[in-house]
Amino acid sequence: MQLTAPLDMHLHLRDGEMLENIAKSSACTFSGAIIMPNLVPPVSTKEDVIAYKQRIMAAVGEENFTPYMTIFFKPSYDKAFLESIKDEITAIKLYPAGITTNSEGGVSGFDVEELRPALTAMSQLNIPLCVHGETNGFVMDREAEFVSIYERLATAFPKLKIIMEHITTKESVAVLDRFENLYATITLHHLLITLDDVAGGMLKPHLFCKPIAKRPEDRSALLKVALEAHPKVMFGSDSAPHPRHAKEACGCAAGVFTAPIALQVLAELFAKENASIENLQAFISGNAQSIYAVTPPNKTVILEKKPFTVPSDYNGVVPMFADEEIAYSIKKTRITNDCK
């Protein structure tokens, strides 16, 4: 099986030692990725973007990989600032205040008039808005409750490209086709698990994430649009590394680390569901290229149906399926170093 220019349109690379330890897990097999800006402090200035990109490029070394940079949304951004930073970023990421990791400086209330100056400027400059779509309501209802906010934003700013990040519900899938300017990313883990896998038996901290995995009917809705390569959805891993001690602890950190095994497991999933390789190619690259108007580096990843035992950890970060056998392996990549 051969995949061309795989893209991860929602990725956490962290910073410092963690960045140095895990960046190649993505850069080895992906041509590029949308990089999340929720560092401490968040990436919010042109200088921040340039410096963080330099650190990423140093961490990936000679791998053929493009980090598509983002900044942390603030309502105070004006057109002059956005014009000055436009060439350094691919999108802007909006977080509801306090809803996920390092999002305390996010938006509260979602008053359209308060957001109008920044979002109007983004519309005029053709800068996409990526949104973590959850309210602060009951945890299983947060994303479904946020759909009405997506509807308000899509209606108020019809020329603004809005990406619903890591969708997990049938309600989010349904709203995709009601608004021309709404798009979505879907993770690997939300295509595979429900809340029962996380907490139905013994608690599995390495499957705990935000937004939390939902019900079987939600997973089925996600699978349908992913497997058919709906043109408005694309792969975004939301791979979110935390050190083992932060996951296997009271107050477990939210995030599933899938970067090293994402392509292999997606290949297995699409094959199991009798979906075509063309649909997988569209889901992991073609749709994203169209939606974001990006041209990623030329990289070909060749997978083979050969069992692979997932390591127990990657530099101290426990991946999904740790110590388990998956059906596909990376045989080699072209234009970059082979992945081991």
283 is a domain residue: yes
318 is a domain residue: yes
Residue 299 lies in domain: 2-333
Q: How far apart are CA 220 and CA 340, in angstroms?
A: 33
338 is a domain residue: no
226-231 long-range contacts, CB within 8 A, separation 24+: 226/186, 226/191, 226/283, 227/270, 227/273, 227/275, 227/279, 228/275, 228/279, 229/278, 229/279, 229/280, 229/282, 229/283, 229/286, 229/287, 230/176, 230/287, 231/282, 231/287, 231/290
Q: Which residues contact 87 (CB under 8 A, 6 or more apart)?
A: none
pLDDT 10s per residue in the chain (340 long)?
999 999 999 999 999 999 999 999 999 999 999 999 999 999 999 999 999 999 999 999 999 999 999 999 999 999 999 999 999 999 999 999 888 877 888 888 889 999 999 999 999 999 999 999 999 999 999 999 999 999 999 999 999 999 999 999 999 999 999 999 999 999 999 999 999 999 999 999 999 999 999 999 999 999 999 999 999 999 999 999 999 999 999 999 999 999 999 999 999 999 999 999 999 999 999 999 999 999 999 999 999 999 999 999 999 999 999 999 999 999 988 764 445 4
340 is a domain residue: no
- CA atoms within 13 Å, Cβ hemisphere of 197: 18
Record the tokens describing residue 236, joined without a space. 């975004």
Q: What share of the chain is helix, strand, coil (3-state, %, to 5)?
A: 40, 15, 45
339 is a domain residue: no
Residue 110 has a pLDDT of 87
* CATH code assigned at 33: 3.20.20.140
β pairing state of 325-326 and 300-304 = unpaired
310 is a domain residue: yes
Q: How far apart are CA 261 and CA 254, in angstroms?
A: 19
Of 136, 116, 118, 48, which is closest to residue 76 (Cα–Cα)? 118
Residue 335 has a pLDDT of 67
Domains contained in the chain, number? 1
Spot the catalytic one: 141, 197, 238, 338. Answer: 238
**238 part of the active site:** yes
Residue 242 has a pLDDT of 97
